[in-house]
Amino acid sequence: MSNQEQNKKNQQLDQFRVNDKDKSLTTNQGLKMNEDEFSLKAGERGPSLLEDFHLREKITHFDHERIPERVVHARGFAAHGEFEVYESLAPYTKANFLGEAGKKTPVFVRFSTVAGSRGSGDMARDVRGFATKFYTDEGNYDLVGNNIPVFFIQDGIKFPDLIHAVKPEPHNEIPQAQSAHDTFWDFVANNQETAHMIMWHLSDRAIPRSFRMMEGFGVHTFRFVNEEGQAFFVKFHWKPVLGVHSVIWDEALKLNGNDPDFQRRDLYDAIENGQYPEYELGLQIIKEEDEFNFDFDVLDPTKIWPEEDVPVKIVGKMTLNQNIDNYFAETEQVAFHPGHVVPGIDFTNDPLLQARLFSYTDTQLIRLGGPNFHEIPINRPVCPFHNNQRDGYGRQTINSGQVSYHKNSLADNTPTPVSEENGGYKHYQEKVEGKKVRARSISFEDHFTQAALFWNSMSDVEKNHIIDAFSFELGKCKEVAIREQVLDMFSNVSHDLVTGIAENLGLAIPKKKEIDYTKSSPALSQANTKKKADT
Ligand code: HEM
């Protein structure tokens, strides 16, 4: 392990770290064993005996060594580090770890690809996960983001559909080049809210050169709340100090063949060599009263906030300075959750975020074997935690006393709720009104303005890469009807784009669509006028 600074998380992990050097070999019951090579037999050449507890224990433990891989983001690599805030953010949030210039907080970051299995190659064309756990004095805060600032879908109810379409097709489980198969393109063509994300996905952003050279984004709009109860909309950015770099597709293919572990090796080696990856934290902040002053809905996760309109304020730096000791104990067992927040950070009604708030604990209950995965060393907060939860698989805490419920008059051993003034979390009191409906706001209906904005911001070289990526990936889609649907869809983004793809794939060039993206979306303006009138 390199540069093991004794921050609070390291001190905590030290209690669990074990070095077996020069130790006697024992069973799990502590019994010293004189032999570990030969099973107990009836006669040297005879059958093994059932009473061989050492053989049984060793094999049984081995039989149960694997746990389910994550249903998405299965392939990942992680490191420890530290976050330091440059200036007090108290005007915006009461979050203690952001409250004082120079304050340092231990972090654990896991980078990942999304679609591939645990053993897949690093250089796939895919979104990269960028999940950060801040071990703050007020509890764990998780910023569970990606390296692309928008997402495929607007409502979490579609996430299982998206992932079913993206993963290897179920009948043969052959992982074709990411995003290349028919089901993926069929999903895209039938769910046009994917347009903006697909533009990023087929750009060089989806083949980053290194985890050290990619941005991270919280994607959703979150809420900051300050000591006075005033709230702000906020988007989170990580900006790599080394800058953003990608490989080209040909390099990605070669690297994946030559060294499928290229990105994890790159991160591990850099940290071992003292070239610590650094990322600055950036914030985009919008005042609550400006919620309806944009051409997009601030709750729509398929939209960025253009940096010209809402500048990114750089507020701190994260340095990854310590490799893991044990992949399973740390990288595999870490449990991130966008719902792990601290006072001063809250949610918004983004319907993608809302579904995520359910999904992570639910999946971790099965992945990590029951309700006590918060006790696993990597997941423990560095501050104390106490409540009336008890028992369950793998429970380690030995709670004392007779009573494990609130409220009671019997016990002096149960914890007491904490007032907001003393650091108790209080949810932001947003006013909510409306009919119960299964619906999408019309302010979420513009799928192409920002997709075109992205295309128009590209250099010619980058545009050619996007055309090539579309041609390669869509070229793997066997259904001509789906190819044509996709071309028709992306002619809403750029006629040059679809012309390039059509020529490469020998398809008819779709008719040019006359769309003026310099004007704001009419549906959105209508929706915003209505919402303002309602407010
Ligand atoms: C991992 C669900 C959207 C970023 C996961 C996992 C699930 C999941 C079940 C596996 C967690 C585990 O086993 O520990 C969902 C659902 C989504 C959604 C239901 C939409 C409704 C997103 C979005 C982002 C994202 C929009 C980025 C902003 C991640 C990351 C991981 C992850 C980075 C890997 C965490 C790690 O390294 O352990 N997601 N996800 N997800 N998700 Fe999502």
User: Could you report the predicted ipTM of this complex, rounded to two decimals?
Assistant: 0.94
Q: Does the beta carbon of 199 lie inside 6 Å of ligand 1?
A: no
Contact 360 CB / ligand 1 (< 6 Å): yes
Is 172 considered catalytic here? no
**In this structure, what DSSP letter does residue 193 have?**
G
- What is the per-residue pLDDT for 6? 82
For the question of whether the overall pTM of this predicted structure is more than 0.90, the answer is yes
The confidence score (pLDDT) of residue 516 equals: 65
> How many residues make up the chain in this entry?
535
Examine the residue annotation and report whether 146 is marked as an active-site residue of this protein: yes
State how far the Cα of 531 lies from the Cα of 374, in Å rounded to an integer: 41
Q: Which of 69, 73, 164 to mutate to test the pocket of ligand 1 (most atoms within 8 A of CB)?
A: 73
48 C-alpha to ligand 1 centroid (Å) = 47
CA atoms of 391 and 185, how far apart (whole Å): 46
* Ligand 1 pocket member 450 (CB < 6 A): no
User: Which of 473, 474, 452 lies closest to 463, judged by CA?
Assistant: 452
Residue 468, judged by CB atoms within 10 A of its CB (0-12, 13-18, 19+), counts as middle
Residues 6+ apart with CB under 8 A from 158: 191
Residues paired with residue 286 on neighbouring β-strands, in sequence order: 233
Is residue 219 lining ligand 1, measured as CB closer than 6 Å?
yes
Q: Which residues of the chain have pLDDT under 70?
A: 1-5, 175-180, 516-523, 525-535
* Residue 215 CA to ligand 1 centre (angstroms): 17
Bridge partners for 26 per DSSP: 32
pLDDT of residue 173: 85
**Helices and strands: H and E segment counts in the chain:** 14, 10
Whether residue 131 has its Cβ less than 6 Å from ligand 1: yes
- Residue 351 Cβ < 6 Å to ligand 1: no
Residue in 7, 73, 147, 323 annotated catalytic: 73
Q: Which atom of ligand 1 is nearest to the CA of 157?
A: 21
CB 166 near ligand 1, within 6 Å: no
**Minimal CA–CA distance to 73: which of 317, 364, 325, 377?**
364
**Torsion sign across C-alpha atoms 321, 325, 331, 335:** negative
Other C-beta atoms within 10 Å of 346: how many? 19
pLDDT computed for residue 412 by the predictor: 84
CA of residue 310 to ligand 1 center, whole Å: 26
Q: How many whole angstroms from its chain centre is CA 417?
A: 31
CA of 75 to the centre of ligand 1 (A): 12
3-state helix, strand, coil in the chain (%, to 5): 35, 15, 50
> Catalytic residue among 7, 10, 96, 146, which?
146
Residues contacting residue 19 through CB under 8 Å, at least 6 positions apart: none
CA atoms lying within 13 Å on the CB side of residue 523:
12
- Best of 72, 117, 164, 349 for a ligand 1 pocket test (most atoms within 8 Å of beta carbon): 72
The preferred substitution site among 69, 107, 359 for testing ligand 1, maximizing ligand atoms within 8 Å of CB, is 359
